[in-house]
Amino acid sequence: MNIARLIHPGFWFGKTPLEQALTLAKRGVGGFCLYGGTRAEVAAFTTAVREASPLDHLLISADYEDGLGRWLPDAPLLPSNMALGAANDDELAFEKGLLTARQARSLGVDWVFAPVLDLANNPLNPIVNTRSFGADPACVIRLGRAFLKGLKQGGALNSIKHFPGHGDTSTDSHLALPVLHQTEKQLLARELIPFQALLPLADSVMLGHLLLPEIDDKNPASLSSTVADQLLRQQLHYNGCVLTDALLMKAIGDEKEAAWKALQAGVDILLVPQEPEKLISFLEEKQVSPEILDRSFARQEKLCAFAKQTPRPEQQEAFNVGDYAYRTARQALCAYPSVTPLTRTQTIHYLEIGNQSAQSAEPFLNTLRAHRISLQKYQGNAQHLLVLCFRRYQAFQGKIMLEKEEISQLQQALQKAEHSTCVFFASPWAIPATLPIEQKLFTFSPSPDFQRAAAEVLLGLYPPQGHLPISL
C-alpha cells in the first residue's frame, strides 16, 4: 500500500512546474487540488497527470465555490452563496450546483470542495463572508441541500465545509489559528446544525483549521480526535471521507507533525501540503499503520467509483449557462433602507473603492450610460455621490473591512456630498456602518450580470426583490 495516496497536493497554474506534478502523480498521490488556469490548461493537466498515475483513478478537486469563474478567467462567475441566500430560492441553488458540476466534469475535475456551511454571523470574519448562504441555519440547510443535489445530478463529488463551522470567528485561518469559544452543546445548538442536517448527502467533510478550547484546548479541529472521531464519527455517525483543509495554511504550524496528528485523529486525506515530497518521505519513515491506510484507501475508492461512472459532458454544452446569473441577480439584490432611482437631470459622481482585484465596473457604468445618466469620476466634489465598493474576501488578506486610508477618503467624500448611494458588489460589511451613507444596494457578487441588474435597480426599472440573509 502506497502512503503517497493519503496526500492530495495543490497545483497552481503558472507557478507549479508540470514536471513536479507528474513526478508526484507517478509516485502515487491520491489526487490534486487545482488553483487557477484556463479551461484548456485544466483539461490538459487532468489528462496528463492521470496518464502518469499508477492509480486506476486519480481524484482531481478544486474550490469552485462560485462556479469555475472564481478561478478561471474564461469561465463564468456564478452567484455567491450569499446572493442565493438573498434570493431565497431552492431552484437557483440547485441550478448553481448543477452548472458547477457539469463545468468541472467537462474539464476532468471530479470533486468540488463546496458548499460552505459556515454561518455568516460575524461581520468581522475575513474569510467566510459571501461564501456563506447566510446567518440562519434553516436557510443554510435548505439552500445547501439544493446545491448538493445539483452537484450530484451534474456528476461531481462534494465536500461540506468547514466542520464544525468557523463563521463566528474574526481570524483568517490562512494566516493564524481562529479560536471559537463554544461548548459542544452550543455548537450543536447553532454552528453544527447545517452540518448535522446535511451529513447524509456529504461525499466528504472538510475539517476547519480552528481551535475549540472548550472541546480540545491543544489541537485545531482538523487535527483533533475529539472533533474528527468522537464528534463527527461517533456522535454524528458520519462514516464517509474526511479531509483536512489545506495544510499549507499558517494556522496549524509544522505541516509534517500536523499531518501525522490528523491521520491519528481519523482524517483520510491530507490536502495541499506546502512540501508534498517531503511529507511523503516523512510518513514513509513514520510507518503509517495498515488500519489507517486501509481506512483511507477504502473511502477514496468509494469516491473514485462514483467519479468513474459519471459521463463527462462536452465543454461547449457545460459552459452554456444562459441567463442564470441575471435571473438570480433579479431576485437577490437588496436595498437598505430603500433606493431612490437616479435621474437624468443631475450629474452623478462615482467613486470606486476597495477594488483590490481590479474588477471592472464597466458593465454597471455602461448600463447607466445607455440610459443617458450623466456620470463623472469623483474629483473632490459631488452633489450625488455614487460609491462602488468591490471589497471582497480574499485568502491571506486577514481582514474584510476597507483600509484606513480608503475609509478616510470615503468619509471626506460623504461629508461634501448632498446625497449618497453605495452599491456593495461583494462584502456587505466592507464599509463601517457608522459612515453616513443615505441608501445602500447589496448585490453580493461583482459579476457582470449582477452589475447590470444593480444599474437597472438604480434606474428604477424594477425594485430590489431580495431579503438580507445577514444582520448589518
The catalytic residue positions are 174, 245
Q: What residues have CB less than 8 Å from 258, skipping those under 6 apart?
A: 222, 223, 244, 247, 252
48-76: b (≥16 Cβ within 10 Å) or e: ebbeebebebbbbbbbbbbbbbbbbeebb
- Other residues' Cβ atoms within 10 Å of the Cβ of residue 44: 15
- Report yes or no: 170 and 254 within 8 Å, Cβ to Cβ: no
In the chain, what is the straight-line distance between the N-terminal and C-terminal CA atoms, in Å? 52
Q: Of 249, 256, 244, give the one whose Cα is nearest residue 284.
A: 256
- What one-character-per-residue DSSP string does 371-409 give? TT-EEEE-SS--SEEEEEE-----TT----SPPHHHHHH
**Three-class DSSP category at 352:** strand
**HSE-up of residue 456 (Cα within 13 Å, Cβ side):** 18
**Three-class DSSP category at 117:** coil
Classify the phi-psi angles of 117: left when phi > 0, otherwise alpha if psi is within -120 to 50, otherwise beta: alpha
Cis peptide upstream of residue 115 (ω within 30 degrees of 0): yes
Q: What residues have CB less than 8 Å from 369, skipping those under 6 apart?
A: 375
Q: Of 336, 340, 427, give the one whose Cα is nearest residue 125.
A: 427
Q: Note the helical H segments in 79-136.
A: 81-87, 90-106
Phi, psi of 304 (to 5 degrees): -65, -40
Alpha carbon distance 211, 177 (integer Å) = 7
Alpha carbon distance 401, 399 (integer Å) = 6
Alpha carbon distance 357, 339 (integer Å) = 27
